[in-house]
Amino acid sequence: MNGNSRFERFCLCLKNYITFFLLIAFVITCCMLLFLFTLQETMDISFTENNIRKASILTFCNIVLLSLLCTVIDSIRRKITVERPVRRITEGFQKLMVGDFSVRLEPISGFASSVRFDLIIDYFNRMAEELSGVETLKTDFIANVSHELKTPLAVMRNYGTMLQSPGLSEQQRIEYAKAITESSERLANLITNILRLNRLENQHIYPTNKKYNLGEQLAECLLNFESIWEEKEIYIESDIEEDVFVESDGELLSLVWNNLFSNAMKFTGPHGKVSLSLKTEGDNAVIKISDTGCGILPETGRHIFEKFYQGDTSRATEGNGLGLALVKRVVEIVGADISVESEVGRGSTFCVKIGRIKNE
């Protein structure tokens, strides 16, 4: 304990002592005066100056001793019931400040005043747990972003070096330039998705809700992938119920449909099938986007909406693991619901339910 702390404790003890002294002196003086006055009136006893002086000295000594005793008892009480819990909590916060998010405090038991400290400790432990989770996510996020940035940059650097080699044929130059273009597009998409996800997660997004035809929006988003399904000769099957209107943020929902269609096209092999279904069920519009791709393992399905999670590492170069995290966040913002059903080797079906406007 340093000098300042000792001086502060001394001042606190002195303050408590003076408080108890004045309180006890007032109470005892009032009681003694009342007692002496009553005794003199009822028993007609007279008091000499010498007797009064002795009684006053004895009373003063009693007050001093009682005040000292109360001060000691109060100091012990404060040390056990206040200072020790406060010191434990302070030490916990000091560990948090230096980055030790594993610290947890045990509840205090045995004292009546510990209930309030237990409440503080409970909130402290919750905060430490949340900070630990945030720190883990931040570390994983930085590690994953670094890896995702390195891959396309390495490809661009390697092919850029190869393009400088003399004697390359025109076909080789076109091939290398195409690889650089694809890697730069992947890098641009990664940065765009990171910025989008950061905005959706760290800002209060208030959807701009407007009434529009959901079937038309789905058809427009699907047509954006026409070149991909024609190149891979994918069969497109659609079953869109007419005049299904919703009141939601169309711009945000387009992120959902584009990401789900992109995944369906990406994981469906040549001559496969991608299906789109829009039906109404009660107050909801139910959208199902299915593919005949590689499917998802049950373990993967539990983490599929997490950032940078890629269950199929063989196809890791085709994405960055942010698309479905974006989808999940948008679905939460607009108040919808999303689920996935999948079977390995047979494909996956993503189902989105969103409130619709009933036809009058």
Spatial separation of the C-alpha atoms in residues 342 and 171, rounded to whole Å:
41
H helices of 105-205, where?
A: 114-163, 170-202
162-201 exposure pattern, b = at least 16 Cβ within 10 A, e = fewer: eeeeeeeeeeeeeebeebbeebeebbebbeebbebbeebe
Report in angstroms the alpha-carbon separations of 327 from 36, 186, 333, 336, 352: 87, 18, 10, 11, 10
pTM of the model: 0.52
User: Of 72-81, 107-116, 301-310, where does the model show the most confidence?
Assistant: 72-81
User: pLDDT grade, residue 95 (50/70/90)?
Assistant: confident
Q: Are strands 284-291 and 273-281 parallel, antiparallel or unpaired?
A: antiparallel
Is-contact 20 70, C-beta < 8 A?
yes
Q: What per-residue confidence (pLDDT) applies to 313?
A: 41
Q: What per-residue confidence (pLDDT) applies to 318?
A: 47
Mean pLDDT, residues 142-171 taken together: 78
Spatial separation of the C-alpha atoms in residues 150 and 160, rounded to whole Å:
15
What structural domains does the chain harbor? Answer: 3-100 (no CATH), 148-202 (1.10.287), 210-355 (3.30.565.10)
pLDDT tens-digit readout, 40-94: 555 555 555 666 666 667 666 766 777 777 777 777 777 777 777 888 888 888 8
Residues with Cβ within 8 Å of residue 62, at least 6 apart in sequence: 28
- For the chain, what is the mean pLDDT? 77
Spatial separation of the C-alpha atoms in residues 87 and 109, rounded to whole Å:
16
Residue 268 has a CB neighbour count (10 Å cut-off) of 23
pLDDT tens-digit readout, 258-279: 889 988 888 898 999 999 999 9
